[in-house]
Amino acid sequence: MSGSRARPWLVALGALAAGFGVLALGLAIAGYDAGLALGALWRGAFGSWYAITSATLVRAVPLVVLGLGLALAFRAGALNIGAEGQFYAGAIAATWIGAQVGGWPGGLAIGTVWIGAAIAGALWIVVPVVLRLRFGVLEVISTLLLTFVAEALVSYAVTGPLQEQSRIYPQSDPIALAARLPMLPGSRLHLGLALALALAVLLWLLFTRTAWGFRLLAAGLSPRAAEVSGRIPVRRMLGVALLWSGALAGLGGGLEITGVTYALFQNLSPGYGFTAIAVALLARLHPLGVVAAGVLFGALEAGAQGMQREAGVPAVAVYVIEAVIILVVLLTDAVARQAGERQAAAVAAASEEPA
């Protein structure tokens, strides 16, 4: 399921335009002042330096990191729909480890928390991987189910073992200072952005320059051809891709804890795991595109808060834009594929082959 090769930027822009069009239409129909709402959306995302760094980019970080993980999985043909659950697993681990590393030097503390969060995310996807490889269970279903389990686990954690000392609020104690990420002065933008960008470049090199990245692509496009002609261990690649995908999602959860909230509570994620699907798709699975798409969706969600404040439009309406974007990209892909099939059929017929 990698994207079509034709004009990815055009497709992305078109999808975006369609998304905004639908939103504007819906707002107008519902009786809102569409102009005010869209203006508020813009201001909430880009209206000030603070908005850009502390609203948009901060929200972009988990979207980029999760989006990279999903791009990796999708490229291999694995459908990880449960990044949300892996995110929470990482967040839980980060919270617990973050409380233990009080006296540690900063770099070591942060590194340990990050690694722990990534491992937790990978562990959270291990069961779906086993179910897929051993029992042939579609990972779509298993990863999804575990998301709900993860949410329940968070609820249990913050009302039980990880609950803050006074036992009043359903949230954890704040993590140790050593585990908190340094921030850009004058904003809430944290080190996680640098990590996200580094990961994007790393993945880009991996995809386009290495033999492993090529094998991943082949395995995702045609498992049978990859096995028979490429002698690629497709199942193993699928499992590895899923595990790394889970690790990145878990890391995203860790970044959110160490960089933004410093504590665990329910509904920590406003659906990052699902929005990241849209991010990866819009980016046509290209790591650098994931950065751009992540920033875009971060802007959308930041702007949505502004839209709710200023124009009274419920923030959750932004999901509609995201859904439209995904659908437009899917439709464009489908149309391109059908055109390709027609062309292939014409070529086959134009040579001297039996019809």
Give the integer Cα–Cα distance in Å for 195 and 230. Answer: 34
Tell me: does residue 142 bind another protein (CB under 8 A). Answer: yes
Half-sphere exposure for 33 (CA within 13 Å, toward CB):
10
Return the number of the residue (256 or 333) whose C-beta is nearest another protein: 333
Among 183, 233, 240, 261, binds another protein (CB under 8 A): 233
Cα–Cα distance measured from residue 234 to residue 77, given in angstroms and rounded to the nearest whole number: 10
Q: Which of 183, 197, 240, 320 binds another protein (CB under 8 A)?
A: 320
153 binds another protein, rule: CB under 8 A: yes
Task: Enter the tokens of residue 202.
Answer: 């790393």
d(CA 72, CA 244): 8
For another protein, the binding residues in 113-132 under the rule CB under 8 A are: 127, 131
Tell whether residue 278 is a contact of another protein (CB under 8 A). Answer: yes
Q: Does 28 bind another protein (CB under 8 A)?
A: no
**334 near another protein (CB under 8 A):** yes
How many Cβ atoms are within 10 Å of 350's Cβ, its own excluded? 8
CB of 277 to another protein, least distance (A): 6
What is the separation, in whole angstroms, between the first and last Cα of the chain?
29
Choose which of 148, 169, 198, 202 interacts with another protein (CB under 8 A): 148
Nearest partner of 317 among 47, 20, 58, judged by Cα: 20
From 104, 230, 240, 310, residue interacting with another protein (rule: CB under 8 A): 230
Q: Which is nearer to another protein, 24 or 221 (CB)?
A: 221
**CB closer to another protein out of 168 and 355:** 355
Residue of 56, 147, 172, 305 that binds another protein (CB under 8 A): 147
Q: Which of residues 79-118 bind another protein (CB under 8 A)?
A: 79, 81
What are residue 263's phi and psi, to 5 degrees? Answer: -155, 160
Shortest Å, Cβ 242 to another protein? 15
Q: Which of 33, 43, 104, 159 binds another protein (CB under 8 A)?
A: 159
Name which of 152, 178, 137 is nearest 89 in CA terms. Answer: 152
Task: Tell me the C-alpha distance between 287 and 322, whole Å.
Answer: 19
3-state secondary structure of 193: helix
238 contacts another protein (rule: CB under 8 A) = no
Smallest gap from Cβ 201 to another protein, in A, equals: 15
Q: Which is nearer to another protein, 49 or 156 (CB)?
A: 156
Query: Which residues fall within 8 angstroms of residue 164, CB to CB, at 6 or more apart?
Result: 171, 172, 173, 263
CB of 55 to another protein, least distance (A): 19
Q: Residue with structure tokens 């991987």?
A: 129
Task: Using CB atoms within 10 Å of the CB of residue 329, give its burial: 0 to 12 exposed, 13 to 18 middle, 19+ buried.
Answer: buried
Taking the least distance from each CB to another protein, the nearer of 15 and 251 is 15
CA–CA gap between residue 27 and residue 204 (Å, rounded): 38
Indicate whether 140 belongs to the interface with another protein (CB under 8 A): yes
Structure tokens at 181: 């990420």
Q: Which of residues 188-217 bind another protein (CB under 8 A)?
A: 209-212, 214-215, 217
- Shorter beta-carbon distance to another protein: residue 48 or 338: 338
Nearest distance from C-beta of residue 321 to another protein, angstroms: 8
CB of 305 to another protein, least distance (A): 14
